[in-house]
Amino acid sequence: MIAIYADLRTRLQPVRHQGRRQSCLAFATSTAHEHKAGIAEHLSVEYLFYCSVERTPGKNPTDGTTMAAAAGALADEGQPIEAAWPTLQVADAAVERWVELRVRVMMRLAALAEGTPASDASPPSR
């Protein structure tokens, strides 16, 4: 049996529903981050999930991510507020397409930052 040392439920923001996605680790990590940092608004679970999946072998959001990937993403990328990168409220089939589009956008932004024409940025092969 797990011993409870502290009940933090009254100090945390309300639990959010992740739907059928494999983003439970991003939700739990975000809640812990909000609490630890004393942030009164939700942080972007979607951003943390996206950055974590990018560090996970296979980079497939339907497979979820790992604690190491989430910790690394949080340490290296940080986490914006929810309003800056809102959580998806779409069906699982649309998530894959959304991720592909986000990857293309992120690659184009990175290419522009490096001075490469955006049209030269191509999405990763799957």
pLDDT of residue 68: 96
- pTM reported for the whole predicted model: 0.66
The residue with greater pLDDT, 79 or 115, is: 79
pLDDT for the residue 89: 64
Task: Report helix, strand or coil for 81.
Answer: strand
pLDDT score of 126 = 44
**Phi, then psi, of 123 in degrees rounded to 5:** -70, 155
For residues 41-50, give the mean pLDDT: 92
Give the pair of three-digit tokens for residue 57.
């072998």
Q: Are 60 and 53 in contact (CB under 8 A)?
A: yes
For the cut 70, the answer to whether the pLDDT of residue 8 exceeds it is yes
Closest CA to 13 of 36, 31, 38, 33: 31
Whether the predicted pLDDT of 118 surpasses 60: no
**Residue 48: predicted pLDDT:** 95
Instruction: Compute the C-alpha angle 12/15/17, nearest 5°.
Output: 160
Q: What pLDDT, on a 0 to 100 scale, did the predictor assign at position 121?
A: 46
Give the other-Cβ count within 10 Å of 19's Cβ.
13
Are 63 and 55 a contacting pair, CB within 8 Å?
Answer: no
pLDDT of residue 95: 64
Q: What is the largest CA-CA distance in the chain?
A: 58
- Specify the residue for token string 């923001």: 13
Under DSSP, is residue 8 helix (H, G, I), strand (E, B) or coil?
coil
